[in-house]
Amino acid sequence: MSTDAFSTLSHEDREFAPSAEFAAQANVTAGAYDAAAQDRLAFWAEQAARLSWQTPFTEVLDWSDAPFAKWFIGGKLNVAYNCVDRHVESGFGDQVAIRFEGELGDRRDITYAQLQDEVSQAANALTELGIVAGDRVAIYLPLIPEAVVAMLACARVGAPHSVVFAGFAAAALESRINDAEAKLVITADGQHRRGAILPLKPAVDGAVVNTPTVANVLVVKRTGIDVEWVEGRDLWWHDVVDRQSTTHAPEAFDSEHPLFILYTSGTTGTPKGILHTTGGYLTQVAYTHHAVFDLKPDTDVYWCTADIGWITGHSYVVYGPLANRVTQVIYEGTPDTPTQDRWWDIVERHRVTILYTAPTAIRTFMKWGDHLPQGKDLSSLRLLGSVGEPINPEAWMWYREVIGGNRCPIVDTWWQTETGAIMIAPLPGVTACKPGSAMRALPGISADVVDDHAVPVNHGTGGYLILTEPWPAMLRGIWRDPQRYVDGYWKHFEDVYFAGDGAKLDDDGAIWLLGRVDDVMNVSGHRISTTEVESALVSHPKVAEAAVVGATDATTGQGIVAFVILRMDAVDDHEGRSSVVRELRDHVAHEIGPIAKPRQILVVAELPKTRSGKIMRRLLRDVAEQRDVGDATTLADPAVMSLIAAGLAANPSED
Ligand code: WTA
């Protein structure tokens, strides 16, 4: 861990209270904090009543096997029924659930009644393919309606899904399929991105030759490009799903039945399968979506721009919003296709009222220029959200002024794949927000900031963010590795959950997130571990050693900077350094995916190491961020840093 981040503490005195008009219509008032403080478990039991339970629960929380929680014990429910069927049964079958827009401009509105039919057909197809409750299904799809349908169909039959971001490479897909021992992979022929067609099926073909558990690959025809086909294994979605019956009786599953596994980066090279279950997860995503986004199901048009490959897509595109009977926009493509005002065009045409996105996107739009959003009518917006990394005050103010027209509350939401749902955020009708602060823990959630000895810090001081009480949507562990769960989250500070983030309490007790304090990088809101990229680099025959750091980046939050030592025998003298660097960047993209491609690769002769052989990343970060190098006295060879710095000065922008 490092406390470097604490040196960036800044002061922010501006405050923006909700307008009287917004406060008067808000779903949740300040009383929620008091109610939850008086009886936390009764508060969560009340929130669980937002859902339809086939069998009511008899106990709210069983924490006797801590840190393995059980919530809503004895309760049984079906997640897909809660997200779809019950809305049809209560008379909202004609309400549009999904307003899909493809990158090419193709559109499809799907009502709740249609969604019920499609999810039922897909559930029947899963059954025909031999999938039963408990089997794992890997989903490797672009952001198209079939992705949502596939997830809900898995939930409906009790088969935990493992969604793998469609930007990941074959090797990354393969290791995730194998860890989960998935029986089925659902994918597409390709996807539309940035005006081109990106094939997806080849990555699946490459992965499944090494995944013995996979019996079938179900393929959505999205682009019509040619694909390789393995008879008997590969099946078209339209051949198998479309002919199924549109009725399917949802079975109720235990509140602790696994709902999904989602792989995320930790501090080692192997991604961890974060496990989420049914009742507690759905309760907290539904409550937080209602409270933090102030959703009015009859009038709002909600748009969360996250991909379903990330936890934000699971909790705030699929499960929370649909449980709350949302009408939402789903957009397949990139923000600059065909022009850089695509998002604002979507907001204008769909009359979007709630927009939830990431700081890296906001900073990109700032760079592209105010004239783009100003050229569109954004007056339908009434609330803005941010997630994924700390939002700097400048971006917050720009979001408020240029996108929100100074009238929309901004909810900066802190949470993690592991927490499953939002933990720290303003309540939009209650909280006076400070630009850049996530403010305070939501009702029913207990967070604190502590020093190295687990002592709560005073106001005005920085430390480590911890969560002090179990919460309904918390991870139930790491798939197939309970010990890694205990060691990774509950050992830094005895018996409390350590999130891996630094934070500061300001003079008023508001929480300011300061970024990760471990070896996890945050690039455009995506978690990538330094070791994962290092392993990919050293797997290349020309690399002897590699060290990777996340360096501050004005747009992406952090950028990946790699320091590599080449194998002299493997590098041809005549081969230009830049061609090796290009080859290594492509190699990382091939091993993990384009999101892990280093921004910069610096070829060095030595790496700074302690006498015990540990790489001192702090010093490399100083170099990468072009700062004076800090205290290097613990280095085995103190001359190394000046060698590196000199080498870099000679090759300043090699990338
Ligand atoms: C960071 C994404 C500051 C944090 C939902 C956390 C944030 C990691 C915020 C989890 C925020 C997320 N302010 N930092 N509002 N939201 N983070 O698992 O470092 O992809 O630990 O979940 O993102 O990333 P993950």
Q: Which of 501, 520, 528 to mutate to test the pocket of ligand 1 (most atoms within 8 A of CB)?
A: 501
Instruction: Give the pLDDT mean for 68-84.
Output: 99
Q: What secondary structure, in 3-state letters, does 125-171 show?
A: HHHHCCCCCCCCEEEECCCCHHHHHHHHHHHHHCCCEEECCCCCCHH
- Is pLDDT above 60 for 227? yes
CA of 416 to the centre of ligand 1 (A): 5
- Is pLDDT above 80 for 490? yes
Amino acid occupying residue 185 = V
Do 122 and 153 form a contact (C-beta atoms < 8 A)? yes
- Which residue puts its alpha carbon closest to atom 23 of ligand 1? 388
- Is pLDDT above 80 for 431? yes
Please give the helix or strand (H or E) that residue 538 lies within, else none.
helix 530-538
Q: Tell me which residues have their CB closer than 6 angstroms to ligand 1.
A: 264, 310-312, 387-390, 412-417, 438, 499-501, 513, 515-516, 522, 527
- Confidence label for 623 from pLDDT (cuts 50, 70 and 90): confident
- Confidence label for 8 from pLDDT (cuts 50, 70 and 90): very low
CA of 452 to the centre of ligand 1 (A): 21
Q: Which of 389, 474, 492 to mutate to test the pocket of ligand 1 (most atoms within 8 A of CB)?
A: 389
- Is pLDDT above 60 for 528? yes
- Is pLDDT above 80 for 631? no
> For residue 215, which of 183, 178, 170, 175 has the smallest C-alpha distance?
183
pLDDT, tens only, 322-374: 999 999 999 999 999 999 999 999 999 999 999 999 999 999 999 999 999 99
Tokens, residue 321: 């919003």
How much is the pLDDT for 575?
A: 66
Q: What secondary structure, in 3-state letters, does 407-447 show?
A: CCCEEEEECCCCCCCCCECCCCCCCCECCCCCECECCCCCE
Do 561 and 624 form a contact (C-beta atoms < 8 A)? yes
Tokens, residue 205: 């073909």
Question: What radius of gyration do the chain's Cα atoms show?
Answer: 24
Please give the helix or strand (H or E) that residue 565 lies within, else none.
strand 557-566
Give the span between the Cα atoms of 531 and 592, in whole angstroms.
12
Helix axes 40-48, 279-292, angle to 10 degrees: 90
pLDDT, tens only, 280-326: 999 999 999 999 999 999 999 999 999 999 999 999 999 999 999 99
> For residue 594, which of 166, 272, 163, 223 has the smallest C-alpha distance?
166
Tokens, residue 456: 């709560």
Instruction: Give the pLDDT mean for 13-26.
Output: 95
- Which residue puts its alpha carbon closest to atom 7 of ligand 1? 389
Helix axes 170-180, 577-591, angle to 10 degrees: 30
pLDDT, tens only, 129-185: 999 999 999 999 999 999 999 999 999 999 999 999 999 999 999 999 999 999 999
- Confidence label for 574 from pLDDT (cuts 50, 70 and 90): low
- Is pLDDT above 80 for 267? no
- Confidence label for 1 from pLDDT (cuts 50, 70 and 90): very low
> For residue 476, which of 274, 615, 294 has the smallest C-alpha distance?
274
Q: Which of 465, 497, 521, 522 to mutate to test the pocket of ligand 1 (most atoms within 8 A of CB)?
A: 522
- Confidence label for 397 from pLDDT (cuts 50, 70 and 90): very high
**Strand 234-236 vs strand 216-220: parallel, antiparallel, or unpaired?**
parallel
Instruction: Give the pLDDT mean for 555-566.
Output: 93
Tell me the domains of the chain and their CATH numbers. Answer: 3-77+260-516 (3.40.50.12780), 112-250 (3.40.50.980), 521-649 (3.30.300.30)
Minimum-distance ligand 1 atom for the alpha carbon of 520: 19
Neighbouring CB atoms inside 10 A of 349's CB total: 15
- Confidence label for 2 from pLDDT (cuts 50, 70 and 90): very low
The CA-based angle 95-97-99, given to 5 degrees, is: 110
Q: What percent of the chain has pLDDT over 70?
A: 96
CA of 415 to the centre of ligand 1 (A): 5
Q: Is 81 left (phi over 0), alpha (psi -120 to 50) or beta?
A: alpha
The mean of the pLDDT values for the chain is 93
Instruction: Give the pLDDT mean for 581-610.
Output: 91
Tokens, residue 579: 């061609």
